[in-house]
Amino acid sequence: MSVKLNTRQVGDVNVIDVAGRITLGEGSSALRDTLREMVAKNQKKILLNLGEVSYIDSSGIGELVSGFTTVTNQGGQLKLLNLTKRVRDLLQITKLITVLDVHDDEASAIRSFA
């Protein structure tokens, strides 16, 4: 029902595999906490794999955005991987697709981190 987050490391990039719903409440706060922990541990190359995200609401979108700005302001990079059609559509109508770095292939996403 809610969200499940799995973190793994590929080289110096931290991949967060997200599954389920990123919505107001548990879902968005779990994501926020995970991102903050990573930044606090100086892990600032973060790839958010949203391939298994079934649902995201405006609060979840807000969490993606604030995660992006938090990591960027700390000199890091946050990129998105494997958007489902629903999430892609949402990022398109909110125009966030124009500011967020979105990838469809994990290997090339990993390589894109400077």
Residue 43 burial by Cβ neighbours in a 10 Å radius (0-12, 13-18, 19+): middle
Residue whose CB is less far from another protein, 26 or 106 = 26
Size of the site for another protein (CB under 8 A): 21
**Residue 71, interface with another protein (CB under 8 A)?**
no
Residue 112 burial by Cβ neighbours in a 10 Å radius (0-12, 13-18, 19+): middle
- Give me the count of residues in the chain: 114
Residue whose CB is less far from another protein, 48 or 68 = 68
Q: Restricting to residues 74-103, name those near another protein by CB under 8 A.
A: 86, 90, 93-96, 98-99
Q: Restricting to residues 33-62, name those near another protein by CB under 8 A.
A: 57-59, 61-62
Query: Angle at Cα 45 formed by Cα 94 and Cα 87, nearest 5°?
Result: 25
Residue whose CB is less far from another protein, 5 or 61 = 61
Report in angstroms how near the CB of residue 111 gets to another protein at its nearest: 26
Task: Compute the distance between CA of residue 22 and CA of residue 58 in angstroms, rounded to an integer.
Answer: 9
DSSP letter at 104 equals S
- Give the interface with another protein as residue ranges (CB under 8 A): 23-25, 57-59, 61-63, 65-66, 68-69, 86, 90, 93-96, 98-99
